[in-house]
């Protein structure tokens, strides 16, 4: 959308604490917005994936923490604030950015002193800073990563780590947008990304809007595609990166990394440093959310008239497991494209990046 001259962000935080969210459940078939006023409403929007994607979750969580300050009674400010923030923290477990966004706002509230009015003003400013900083970081990721995207390359990606997953620009897609803007010919292989099909729905939508050539692939195809030399580069996003460089991202990412490794295709992770989690030593410490079985047993989309529709695609009586993320070991990651440059997926490099900006709670 950005590159077509339209300009949307995925969310807006108003002066009264209302958060306006682009409803990602309706995309790509419908553009709808959802407003939340209380942290519990924002937590529900995160849980139900009205808003999804690491950066967008982080900004929404920051806004939710600010809402906790807005909604807290003056007579019980600390308790109400804590309860609201707890609701946000419990919304989804995997994305580091959620906790980062909350921590930034809480630090601002603490620094503002005991008066609720000052706390609210500081929280609003901090939540907006998280959103603006996310957008700026993604733009910088685009610039740093663009050099990796050579003219004529096909880039393979998984799930959606475009502007819809962040406040603006995105992480994995930002280098592609930058290369496209600079006139390089680039084509993207888009993994469908079952069960919620964020690749087929959101990444394909974004790329189509931006005029970037692309084709959707079943999630099982990346091995063959690598074997046949059809992908020159992989860039994916991340929901959390552990201190040693292990990466949590949408389930299926690890398989794509294994396929890339088997055929010598460079595999990069694009993420703002707010996704780095210095407090979690490795991937085994990252909690993996498991979502409802129905997401696997059914498929959601639109019918021939464009109306929302759901079909059961699995045998009656069978159950399903639905882990939403997986862990890609650091050894398979060629580099992490951050707003501060491309860094190795190694403990020393990650520690170095985290040190000067440790205010975020790492």
Catalytic residues: 239
Segment near a second copy (CB under 8 A), from 43-51, 71-79, 83-91, 256-264? Answer: 256-264
Which tokens hold the place of 223? 């091995």
Site membership for a second copy, residue 331 (CB under 8 A): no
How many angstroms separate the CA atoms of 85 and 352, rounded?
29
Rounded to a whole number of angstroms, the minimum distance from the CB of residue 241 to a second copy is 16
CA distance 13 to 36: 10
Per-residue interface string for the shown chain with a second copy, residues 143-182, x marking contact by CB under 8 A: ---------------x------------------------
Q: Are strands 325-328 and 276-277 parallel, antiparallel or unpaired?
A: unpaired
From 33-41, 44-52, 128-136, 310-318, span contacting a second copy (CB under 8 A)? 310-318
- Choosing from 67, 193, 244, 275, the residue that interacts with a second copy (CB under 8 A) is 193
The answer to the question of residue 10 lying near a second copy (CB under 8 A) is no
Q: Which residues contact 153 (CB under 8 A, 6 or more apart)?
A: 184, 186, 187, 232, 233
Q: How many residues bind a second copy (CB under 8 A)?
A: 68
- Smallest distance, a second copy to C-beta of residue 327, A: 6
- Phi–psi pair at 260, nearest 5 degrees: -60, -45
* Residue in the structure block whose two tokens are 């990651």: 333
Nearer to a second copy, 312 or 352 (CB): 312
Asked whether the CA dihedral 163, 168, 169, 171 is positive or negative, the reply is negative
Q: Give the span between the Cα atoms of 196 and 310, in whole angstroms.
A: 12
DSSP 159: S
Does 4 bind a second copy (CB under 8 A)? Our answer is: no
- Note whether 12 binds a second copy by CB under 8 A: no
Residue 126: beta bridge partners? none
Place of tokens 């046949």: 228
Shortest approach of a second copy to residue 343 CB, angstroms? Answer: 24
In the block, residue with structure tokens 């995160």: 46
DSSP-derived letter for residue 199 is: I
Q: For a second copy, which residue of 5, 321, 356, 358 counts as binding (CB under 8 A)?
A: 321
The window from 1-9, 13-21, 144-152, 193-201 that contacts a second copy (CB under 8 A) reads 193-201
Instruction: Give the x-and-dash track for 44-83 against a second copy (CB under 8 A).
Output: ----------------------------------------
Residue 3 engages a second copy in binding (rule: CB under 8 A): no
Phi, psi of 74 (to 5 degrees): -65, -30
Phi, psi of 337 (to 5 degrees): -90, 105
Note whether 207 binds a second copy by CB under 8 A: yes
Contacts to a second copy by CB under 8 A: 28-29, 158, 189-195, 197, 200-202, 204-205, 207-208, 214-225, 227, 250-255, 258-259, 262, 288, 296-304, 309-323, 325-327
């Amino acid at each position: 959308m950005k590159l077509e001259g339209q300009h949307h962000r995925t969310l807006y935080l108003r002066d009264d604490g209302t958060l306006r969210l682009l409803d990602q459940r309706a995309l790509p078939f419908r553009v709808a917005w959802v407003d939340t006023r209380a942290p519990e409403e924002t937590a529900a929007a995160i849980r139900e994936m009205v808003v999804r994607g690491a950066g967008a979750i982080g900004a929404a969580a920051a806004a939710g923490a600010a809402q906790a300050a807005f909604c807290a009674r003056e007579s019980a400010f600390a308790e109400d604030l804590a309860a609201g923030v707890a609701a946000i923290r419990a919304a989804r477990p995997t994305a580091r950015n959620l906790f980062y966004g909350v921590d930034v706002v809480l630090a601002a509230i603490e620094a503002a002193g005991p008066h609720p009015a000052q706390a609210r003003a500081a929280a609003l400013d901090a939540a907006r800073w998280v959103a603006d900083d996310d957008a700026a970081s993604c733009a910088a990721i685009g610039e740093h990563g663009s050099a990796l995207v050579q003219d004529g390359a096909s880039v393979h990606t998984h799930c959606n780590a475009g502007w819809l997953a962040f406040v603006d620009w995105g992480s994995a897609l930002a280098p592609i947008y930058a290369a496209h803007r600079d006139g390089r010919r680039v084509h993207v292989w888009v993994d469908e990304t079952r069960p919620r099909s964020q690749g087929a729905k959101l990444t394909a939508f974004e790329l189509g809007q931006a005029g970037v050539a692309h084709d959707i692939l079943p999630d099982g195809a990346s091995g063959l595609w690598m074997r046949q030399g059809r992908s020159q580069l992989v860039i994916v996003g991340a929901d959390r990166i552990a201190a040693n460089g292990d990466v949590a991202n949408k389930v299926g990412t690890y398989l794509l990394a294994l396929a890339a490794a088997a055929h010598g295709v460079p595999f990069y992770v694009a993420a703002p440093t707010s996704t780095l989690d210095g407090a979690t030593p490795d991937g085994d410490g990252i909690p993996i959310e498991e979502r409802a079985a129905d997401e696997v047993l059914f498929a959601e989309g639109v019918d021939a008239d464009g109306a929302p529709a759901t079909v059961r695609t699995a045998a009656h009586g069978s159950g399903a497991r639905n882990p939403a993320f997986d862990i890609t070991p650091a050894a398979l990651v060629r580099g992490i494209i951050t707003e501060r440059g491309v860094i190795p997926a190694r403990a020393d490099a990650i520690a170095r990046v985290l040190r000067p900006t440790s205010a975020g709670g790492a």
